[in-house]
Chain A
Amino acid sequence: MNKRRWLAHIVFRALVHRRGRTLLLLAVLTLASSLATALGLVSASMRARVAEETRKYGANLVVVPESARVEVGSGGLHFGAIGEPAYLSQEQFLTALAKSGVKGDYSFHLEGALTLKGVEIPCEGVDFAQVRRLSPWWQVDGDWPREGEVLGGGDLTPRHHVHPGDLFEFGGGKGVVRTRVSGVVTTGGDEDDTLFIDLKELQEQMGRPGQVSEVRLLADPGNGSLKDQAALLQRHLSGAVVKELRQVGRTSEDLLGKVQLLMLLVTAVVLVTAGSSVAGTMSTTVLERGKEIGLMKAMGGSRWDLLKIFSAEALLLGVGAGVGGFLLGVVIAKFVAHSVFAADAALRLEFLPVAVGVSMLLALAGSVGPLLSVFRLDPVQSLRGE
């Protein structure tokens, strides 16, 4: 029999002999590593979840020209605007975005008005591809517009008899726009009484090429706090104001940080507790096995031989508990993510080495003291006592 296999054999025998204690140690280590795994998994899936949620809420920053007009009233009671409308150059914004290093998706908006059969209709020039990316909640009855088509707001249908597929002639700009309405959008917000038209077209009609009245920006919350990003962008944008559009991004990001800190603390506490309990159990075991250790020394085992045997025991326990802990951790993470965050925690195999590492380290750290006493144990004294 090969020496290494023999070592494994006797270590296994010793562990089986002390079944109760082995199970206890395994349970503690499994629990610790499963908690670490579960917390890691939940935290990772939460990060993904928050990013997704933030995306769902659409843009989180908005850039408007500084002297923007003040809207009076809203919705059905729209009295118009006070003051001269101000505009922002597309190019200025893009340059500022590149310089500031803020990353994110954006959409340009230009507000204006066109007339339909003599009635003024508020309209907004947008790039449909951008809007579609940033506003996933828009429900369009019909199709999204292709080139030369427009999108009507839901309230326009009863008011102006706008239906998908209709052809209309809009006036009020430089010329007459003859176009087809491809679909009707319902959002439940201000968008419902707006006509959406291609940005370039509206710019041309209004005689303001390259200018927009608002830019919505979905900055990636993963790149630092929204506030900082807004400030960063503001620094490069003179004549415009960068505002945080919604508080959602910020709060969820704050919450995420706090929850992660909490998880880290809990994990640390659990690990310390588990470590000390391992240390306690291990040292009782070593005390109990004093006679055995003395005997092994008397048989000619050097201190290193004994150290090898006992650390092999700890490592074997650690590996076993690590694998078990990983599996248990995945189950816990699934449960927690499902019941608390209503999300699914993805199984990540990269946490397996983490789980095994945690429990092995814990087992070894817990056995340092007992191992030292094994190292120092005097064979004569341990063999004498009866």
Chain B
Amino acid sequence: MTALKVIPQLLCWAVLVPVMSRSLTGMATAVTAAAGFVVGVAGENLLLAYVGGELPFRPLRGVCGVIFLLLWGASVWALYRRGSKGSDAEAVSSPGPLAAGLAASATGVLAGALTLCRLAPLDGGAVRLVPYLSLACAGAVLALAATFPARYLPERLAPRGIPLLALVVSALMVMACSVQRLDIFSPLSMEVMKFIHDFVHQFFESMLIPDHPFFRSDVWGYIGLLFSDKVGLWGGLALWYLPVLFIALALRLERLPSVAHIRQGAARRKLLASFIHERRLRLVAPLFALVLLTGAAYQSRFPATEYWDPKPVEVTATPAGQIVIPKKGEMDLEDGKLHKFSYSQGGRQARFFVMLTPAGQLVTTLDACAICQPEGYGQAGNAVICYYCKTLIPLETVGKPGGCNPVPVPCSVKGDAVVIDAMTLLNTWESTVQVTAHGKGMGK
């Protein structure tokens, strides 16, 4: 089971190393990468064991963000430089052994650390010895074994320079995005959404246009589109793909070689054809990078759930408008896990969960918080995680309001049952969701 979790990452690694060793300095690269992987695994596990908390993850996520920015920079540079292809392009294609070694080891360390994070237990602490050692071995063996298929990789297909960077970064993104706490795609799309939201706000404010009175409601409908979750996703996807697309475009727009000096027509055409063919082959690396990025975005969008996340049970209210859930009915409410319920009346619907806090108190909260989109929570060990912003909330604070904590709903324990007022629940849900979903205009 544990082994299955890291298969996508190891697969990425197994693809990455042969390409790198082919493009850089062969066997030496593979060995360096293998060493880097082992160091990365070991270092990350040490961090997990002795530092704990968020600290092992945050810098790693930062590094991922930085290399993604680096890719952006490189892509813009490539697009800018495409016209003046000359002797310096040759210099890029054959990096010195030192640079190659550095690149390989850095990639290895990052890959190792990222892969280990996938195995990190959700409730903190280090990875146990057996999976830890076997992961290190598997990574190293894969890297060394990769020199064998690398020999069969055609020289012309091996990417050089910036396309290689695109491939490496996108493979690392796949590794990062499969760990929810390292995922950088969903923060990206969230930032995009926030930016658009703030921008429109500021714009209206600076133009001294009051928000509501002057617009018909259908106009607001269109402006409201700017605030929907989709905008964040599509904007995020655009930022996600653009650098690699830029690189592909730069390759595609590379000028044809000058052939005017060749007298014989056939030889001239042959040269052109082979250049076009080569250019097409060089597009393979960026296109593959696009596939990898898609995989990363997919993983981030639909994470492999390893959280306790039961399907909401539908409940109904008594005629008096009370929702009564027995403590020891079909499920045991006091088993320390969250139990999701949904209640609907007419066209109104609310989702909530009930759980026993470590303090021994039964609390009822909405399956949504006051600031994020209502994507709900899952439980991981001694915390619940908000699926939207990936914040971990310790169980001790569940039931308290504020931040990304699930919004509490007043409830009372009467005998063997938890009693919630249906009207209060629906009203709380609606007021919360109306604020967070940004559905209609700006909730000023």
A-side residues, CB < 8 A to B, are 3, 90-91, 94-95, 98, 210
Contact = CB atoms under 8 A, between A and B. Distances in A.
A95 B316 contact: yes
Interface of B: 273, 276, 314-316, 318-319
A91 B318 contact: yes
B319 A90 contact: yes
User: 6 closest A-B pairs (Cβ-Cβ)?
Assistant: A98-B316, A98-B314, A94-B316, A210-B319, A95-B316, A91-B319
Nearest to A89: B319
A250 to B, nearest CB: 27
A267 to B, nearest CB: 34
Contacts of A95: 316
Contacts of A94: 316
A273 to B, nearest CB: 39
Contacts of B319: 90-91, 210
A278 to B, nearest CB: 32
Nearest to A209: B319
Nearest to B346: A129
Contacts, number: 11
Contacts of B316: 94-95, 98
A95 B315 CA distance: 8
Contacts of A210: 319
11 contacts: A3-B273, A3-B276, A90-B319, A91-B318, A91-B319, A94-B316, A95-B316, A98-B314, A98-B315, A98-B316, A210-B319
Contacts of A90: 319
A94 B314 CA distance: 12
Given A91-B318, A98-B314, 9 more contacts: A3-B273, A3-B276, A90-B319, A91-B319, A94-B316, A95-B316, A98-B315, A98-B316, A210-B319
A91 B276 CA distance: 75
Contacts of B276: 3
Contacts of A98: 314-316
A6 to B, nearest CB: 12
Contacts of A3: 273, 276
A210 B320 CA distance: 11
Nearest to A129: B346
A91 B321 CA distance: 11
Of B276, B315, B319, most A-chain CB atoms within 10 Å: B319
A125 to B, nearest CB: 15
Contacts of A91: 318-319
B379 to A, nearest CB: 25
A155 B318 CA distance: 38
A356 B438 CA distance: 39
A232 B320 CA distance: 27
A91 B319 CA distance: 7
Nearest to A2: B276
Contacts of B314: 98
A97 to B, nearest CB: 8
B123 to A, nearest CB: 35
Contacts of B273: 3
A210 B319 CA distance: 8
A95 B316 CA distance: 7
Nearest to A95: B316
Nearest to A94: B316
Contacts of B318: 91
A339 B276 CA distance: 57
Nearest to B314: A98
A210 B317 CA distance: 13
A94 B422 CA distance: 15
Nearest to B313: A98
Nearest to B276: A3
A243 to B, nearest CB: 23
A3 B318 CA distance: 74
A94 B276 CA distance: 70
A151 B89 CA distance: 87
A191 B114 CA distance: 72
Nearest to A91: B319
Contacts of B315: 98
A262 to B, nearest CB: 38
A46 to B, nearest CB: 28
Nearest to B273: A3
Nearest to B277: A3
A227 B132 CA distance: 56
A226 B273 CA distance: 67
A124 B273 CA distance: 87
A101 to B, nearest CB: 8
A366 B430 CA distance: 57
A239 to B, nearest CB: 18
A91 B315 CA distance: 12
